[in-house]
């Protein structure tokens, strides 16, 4: 069993095969076809809304169709079914709950892909998808990934309460146009995500986000939509919490990856333990260069991108970057057995 999966299952072993049966075996056939390519598995960032609970018949998280949901309750007291923490203070943290839910769904999707015979040559990630990506790459266990994600999520929530910030998606402007807007607003607005040539995310103080969205629309942006985040993630404004994150990470063992991991820093590889530890500290303060990451992977010979998670967000962004790229989201492939 791979390193990431150790301790993920109860004494009765893995889930019965019937839970992994795919309608008409389409999923397995799709995996066989995709295995002919050089494959990059892509782990998306945080969901922006409460996920739909499917095929849940009651009985609590112990009755959900994947043991990872039970582990979430046992490890950090999070119930995916009720979308709540048993600890009241954490239960008020919407973004923390969305982060945990995203992690669980990505890990369940990755597990199903692996069990169905899917191959991978490279792992990559976008923003908060780094934690599931590192687990998939054998850097730490599922349980440790869950605790690291939730612990850093708490640090982010605390910052959001003390110094409120935000993020917003801007579509339809070029990078130079948006950089000019950020400079004109004030010194607390930054480009946080470079997703595609005309698809960006800005990050900054709450008031600056509002001004930036208004200016972007005046300059001809097709849309400007606020995200759920209450912190200025991926910007220099996050510098004050780096000490807390670095100290928190000392509680965990970090291994070198057993599969190549390419980061959202424009395709920078994460090779050794010290490099990964430092990346987890620094990445909250630096922008996501997703377009650079995709183009770097294409230059390395990747011929197929597979999004591992509950949505097709990265799949759409990849097609935006290059409409001829072969890409697929596992969330769009029908299967039986629930989540």
| The pLDDT value given to residue 6 | 33
Average pLDDT over residues 176-196: 95
Q: Which of 13-17, 87-91, 179-183 has the highest mean pLDDT?
A: 179-183
Please check whether residue 262 is in contact with residue 121, taking contact to mean a CB–CB distance below 8 angstroms: no
Rounded to whole angstroms, the Cα distance separating 174 from 172 reads 7
**How distant is the alpha carbon of residue 290 from its chain centre?**
12
Least confident of 48-52, 111-115, 130-134, 259-263: 48-52
Domains and CATH numbers, the chain: 19-162+234-332 (3.40.366.10), 165-226 (3.30.70.250)
The structure tokens listed for 308 are 């591992």
Q: What is the DSSP letter of 55?
A: S
Average predicted confidence (pLDDT) for the chain: 86
Residue 218 CA, chain-centre distance (Å), reads 31
Q: What is the pLDDT of residue 9?
A: 30
Are residues 136 and 330 in contact, defined by beta-carbon separation less than 8 angstroms?
no
Q: How far is CA 183 from CA 178, 190, 196, 198, in A?
A: 9, 8, 21, 18
For residues 42 and 6, which has the higher predicted lDDT (pLDDT)? 42
Token pair 């999966």 is found at 5
Residue (of 314, 334, 328) closest to 35 by Cα position: 328
Confidence of residue 30 (pLDDT cuts 50, 70, 90): low
CA proximity to 225, closest of 173, 168, 271: 168
Q: Quick one: DSSP state of residue 265?
A: B
pTM for the model stands at 0.86
What are the pLDDT digits (tens) for 79-129? Answer: 888 888 987 778 788 899 999 999 999 999 999 899 888 889 999 999 999
What DSSP designation does 243 have? H
- Are residues 125 and 102 in contact, defined by beta-carbon separation less than 8 angstroms? no
- Position 263 confidence tier, pLDDT thresholds 50, 70, 90: very high
CA distance 108 to 310: 9
């Amino acid at each position: 069993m791979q390193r990431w999966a150790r301790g993920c299952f109860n004494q009765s072993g893995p889930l019965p095969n019937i839970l992994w049966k795919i309608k008409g075996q389409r999923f397995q056939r799709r995996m066989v076809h995709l295995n002919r390519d050089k494959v990059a598995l892509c782990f998306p960032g945080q969901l922006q809304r409460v996920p739909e609970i499917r095929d849940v018949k009651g009985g609590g998280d112990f009755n959900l169709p994947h043991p990872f949901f039970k582990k979430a309750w046992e490890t950090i007291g999070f119930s995916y079914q009720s979308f709540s923490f048993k600890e009241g203070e954490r239960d008020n943290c919407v973004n923390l709950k969305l982060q945990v839910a995203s992690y669980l769904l990505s890990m369940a999707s990755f597990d199903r892909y692996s069990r169905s015979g899917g191959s991978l040559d490279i792992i990559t990630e976008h923003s908060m998808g780094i934690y599931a990506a590192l687990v998939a790459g054998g850097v730490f266990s599922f349980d440790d990934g869950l605790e690291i994600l939730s612990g850093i999520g708490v640090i982010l929530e605390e910052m959001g309460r003390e110094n409120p910030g935000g993020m917003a998606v801007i579509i339809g402007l070029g990078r130079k146009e948006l950089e000019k807007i950020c400079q004109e607003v004030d010194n607390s607005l930054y480009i946080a995500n470079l997703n595609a040539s005309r698809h960006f995310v800005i990050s900054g103080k709450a008031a600056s986000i509002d001004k930036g969205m208004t200016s972007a629309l005046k300059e001809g942006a097709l849309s400007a939509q606020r995200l759920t985040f209450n912190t200025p993630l991926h910007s220099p404004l996050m510098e004050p919490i780096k000490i807390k994150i670095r100290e928190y990470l000392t509680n965990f063992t970090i291994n070198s990856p057993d599969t190549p991991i390419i980061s959202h820093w424009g395709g920078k590889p994460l090779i050794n333990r010290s490099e990964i530890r430092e990346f987890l500290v620094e990445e909250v303060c630096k922008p996501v260069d997703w377009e650079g990451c995709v183009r770097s992977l294409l230059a390395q010979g990747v011929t197929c991108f597979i999004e591992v998670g509950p949505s097709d967000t990265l799949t759409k962004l990849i097609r935006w970057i290059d409409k001829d790229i072969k890409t697929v989201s596992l969330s769009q492939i029908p299967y039986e057995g629930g989540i």
